[in-house]
Amino acid sequence: MSYNYINKIGKILCIGRNYIAHIKELNNLKPKEPFFFIKPQSAILKQNEGPILIPKNVVAHHEIELACIIGKKLQNLSPDKFGPKEALDAIQGYALAIDMTARNVQAEAKRKGLPWSISKGFDTFLPISPLLSKEIISDPYNLELNLKVNDEHRQHDLTNLMIFPIHKFLSSMSSIMTLNPGDVILTGTPKGVGIVKPGDLIECWCSIDGKEVGGSHMKFDVAEKRGFYVYHEE
Ligand code: CA
């Protein structure tokens, strides 16, 4: 299992609202087209690199997601020519990732019509696994995503519940910005998101037909972020 792909990451794009039950739990509307936001590379946290850091006064939520690592340049791919097979060919491999989200910061941004960058972009807000190969994950829609906080198993859903499949959102994204080898796409979170606090232990893994995927299991302590940032709601 290797983290080599991390050095080649260009941009990190995250699909929002790609699982119905999660859209409902946050009272959001189902999008007609996939939408996405960008997370900075500086948010990446590898296994054994340290704890997830929660800034002061931030209500942080975990969102477990399947990440696709792009293997080919993708530009302007019309949906009728870019199907499931072409999409799988274009993917180098996968990773398991947690899209950590400062929910109260995001709620204020949404309310004011401001960007989400701060709420998604704190250091350590993207814990991510080593590369999981296409040989191991031969069907990206038959993967159970699992996340536990302390002893509570909060997220456990199959990726076949995605609203927009991989070929659909890659085609859509490629009409907006060129995707390059090394770019990472987070595919959205299933239901069960919840609060993570300093002192918690987060554990996550993915499984195929009940069997854990080797290299996917990660554990992170959670601690308070040092420094002078304090969130103040306005
Ligand atoms: Ca997300």
Residues 21-35 have pLDDT tens digits of 888 998 898 888 899
Distance 3 CA to ligand 1 centre (A): 22
Q: Answer yes or no: is pLDDT of 110 > 90.
A: yes
| Mean pLDDT (whole number) for 134-152 | 97
Q: Answer yes or no: is pLDDT of 1 > 80.
A: no
Gap between the Cα atoms of 34 and 187, Å rounded:
10
| Mean pLDDT (whole number) for 173-197 | 97
Q: Kindly report the pTM of this predicted structure.
A: 0.97
Encode burial over 11-37: b for 16+ CB neighbours within 10 A, e otherwise. Answer: bbbbbbbbbeebbeeeeeeeeeebebb
Give me the residue label for tokens 């890659």: 170
pLDDT given for residue 129 in this prediction? 98
Distance 212 CA to ligand 1 centre (A): 22
Distance 199 CA to ligand 1 centre (A): 23
pLDDT given for residue 229 in this prediction? 97
Beta bridge partners of 207: 144, 212
Distance 120 CA to ligand 1 centre (A): 9
Q: Answer yes or no: is pLDDT of 49 > 80.
A: yes
Distance 72 CA to ligand 1 centre (A): 24
Distance 87 CA to ligand 1 centre (A): 21
pLDDT given for residue 233 in this prediction? 85
Residue 100: band (very low, low, confident or very high) from pLDDT cuts 50, 70, 90: very high
Distance 106 CA to ligand 1 centre (A): 12
| Mean pLDDT (whole number) for 67-88 | 96
Task: Judge whether 3 and 130 are in contact, CB under 8 Å.
Answer: yes
Distance 42 CA to ligand 1 centre (A): 17
Q: Answer yes or no: is pLDDT of 163 > 90.
A: yes
Q: What is the pLDDT of the chain when averaged over all its residues?
A: 96
Give the CA distances from residue 197 to residues 117, 129, 131, in Å, rounded to whole numbers and listed in that order.
21, 21, 28
Distance 98 CA to ligand 1 centre (A): 8
For residue range 204-233, list pLDDT tens digits in order.
999 999 999 999 999 999 999 999 999 998
Distance 115 CA to ligand 1 centre (A): 15
| CA contacts within 13 A on the Cβ side of 127 | 27
Distance 156 CA to ligand 1 centre (A): 15
- Centroid of chain to Cα 164: 15
Give me the residue label for tokens 């907006």: 176
| Mean pLDDT (whole number) for 109-131 | 97
Residue 87: band (very low, low, confident or very high) from pLDDT cuts 50, 70, 90: very high
| Mean pLDDT (whole number) for 117-130 | 98
Distance 162 CA to ligand 1 centre (A): 12
Distance 196 CA to ligand 1 centre (A): 15
Q: What is the radius of gyration, based on Cα positions, of the chain?
A: 17
Residue type, 233: E
Residue 171: band (very low, low, confident or very high) from pLDDT cuts 50, 70, 90: very high
DSSP per position, the chain: ---GGGGG---EEEEES-BHHHHHHTTPPPPSS-EEEEE-GGGEEETTS--EEEPBT--EEE-EEEEEEE-S-B-S--TTT--HHHHHHHEEEEEEEE--EEHHHHHHHHHHT--SHHHHHSTT-EEEPPPEETTT-S-TTS-EEEEEETTEEEEEEEGGGBSS-HHHHHHHHHTTS-B-TT-EEE----S--EEE-TT-EEEEEEEETTEEPTT--EEEEEEEPPSS-B----
